[in-house]
Amino acid sequence: MRSSAWKSLYPRARNAVEGRNATFEGWGFKRMSVFGLLRSKALLFLADVLETLSTLARLVREATLASLLT
């Protein structure tokens, strides 16, 4: 836990989690709108999928634009 590899990876993982939390808060998921653990897990899974697909779409759009400019 105190290795140099762990120390180099920890800030990156922490920033990723904070980014995910900020995205969810922006989407209004600060409080779950559903009741029960299973429903909350399903909602968070769908939100994670939506966030991943949004990131993928942004990366594809940026790559396409970069290829058109060169």
Checking if the pLDDT of 2 tops 80, the result is: no
Range of the domain at 53: 4-69
Better pLDDT: 1 or 22: 22
pLDDT at res. 70: 77
pTM above 0.85, yes or no: no
Q: 6 pLDDT exceeds 70?
A: no
How many structural domains does the chain have?
Answer: 1
pLDDT grade for 18, boundaries at 50, 70 and 90: confident
Q: Is the pLDDT of residue 32 over 90?
A: no
Give me the torsion for CA of 43, 47, 48, 51, rounded to 10°.
180
- Nearest in space to 16 (alpha carbons), one of 61, 60, 55: 55
Q: Does the pLDDT of residue 8 top 90, yes or no? A: no
Alpha carbons 28 and 41: distance in angstroms, whole number: 16
Amino acid letter, 53: L
